[in-house]
């Protein structure tokens, strides 16, 4: 099942708890779609560096709202500093707010979200049909930070015929990115706990 998980990180944990209560939970087949964050991160860096956004693929990990969205520029060979870096991070984390403001509060990023969802669904179908090395970022039941009370996390995931085939580690981070990740994990833990609590109180 694909969950359009922005801007509420609690939606995937809620769905997981519902499935668990019915005895049908399969962690390999529940995905929070976070592709839009990668699309935005790649587009915004292309604007700064005057490159083709189609050739950019910025790794984004964490969650799918606000400070839980962590773009890892260093893994794509880019380095921003000072105000430029801060503005870039803000745009990636709160890009949806720009759209809402541009529409005067009358709508959100519907088309880009639809495109991102379609891209992930297409990748999942390719993997289901046997294509190898299909990798997409997605918010899943993950072991990466489970020991810190964060059982769901978005990172690069290899997709296979049965869903999640391999969950990739976050990889090497700069000191700045590590700081972003620490904030992310704190917020994500709260979001997940809130979703799990709600699901248990509303069976």
Q: Which residue has the tokens 């981070």?
A: 173
- What would the two tokens of residue 15 be? 């769905």
The CA distance from 124 to 162, in Å, is 10
CB count in 10 Å sphere of residue 121? 14
Burial class of residue 124 (count of CB atoms within 10 Å of its CB; 0-12, 13-18, 19+): buried
Sign of the alpha-carbon torsion through 117, 123, 124, 129: positive
* 64 assigned to active site: yes
Instruction: Give backbone dihedrals phi and psi of 88, rounded to 5 degrees, phi first.
Output: -60, -50
Looking at residue 168, the DSSP 8-state letter turns out to be P
Please identify which of the residues 6, 39, 64, 127 carries the catalytic annotation. Answer: 64
The CA distance from 59 to 42, in Å, is 9
Q: Which residue numbers are catalytic?
A: 64
């Amino acid at each position: 099942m694909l969950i359009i998980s922005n801007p509420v990180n609690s939606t995937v944990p809620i769905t997981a708890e519902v499935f668990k209560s019915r005895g049908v939970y399969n962690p390999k087949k529940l995905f929070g779609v976070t592709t839009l964050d990668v699309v935005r991160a790649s587009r915004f860096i292309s604007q700064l560096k005057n490159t083709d956004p189609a050739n950019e693929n910025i790794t984004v990990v964490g969650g799918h709202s606000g400070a839980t969205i962590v773009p890892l520029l260093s893994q794509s060979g880019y380095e921003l500093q000072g105000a430029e870096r801060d503005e870039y991070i803000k745009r990636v984390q709160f890009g949806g707010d720009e759209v809402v403001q541009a529409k005067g509060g009358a709508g959100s990023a519907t088309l880009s979200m639809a495109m991102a969802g379609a891209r992930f669904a297409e990748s999942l179908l390719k993997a289901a049909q046997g294509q190898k090395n299909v990798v997409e970022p997605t918010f899943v039941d993950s072991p990466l930070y489970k020991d810190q009370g964060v059982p769901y996390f978005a990172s690069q995931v290899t997709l296979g015929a049965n869903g999640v085939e391999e969950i990739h580690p976050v990889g090497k981070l700069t000191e700045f990115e590590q700081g972003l990740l620490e904030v992310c994990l704190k917020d994500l833990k709260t979001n997940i706990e809130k979703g799990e609590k709600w699901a248990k109180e509303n069976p």
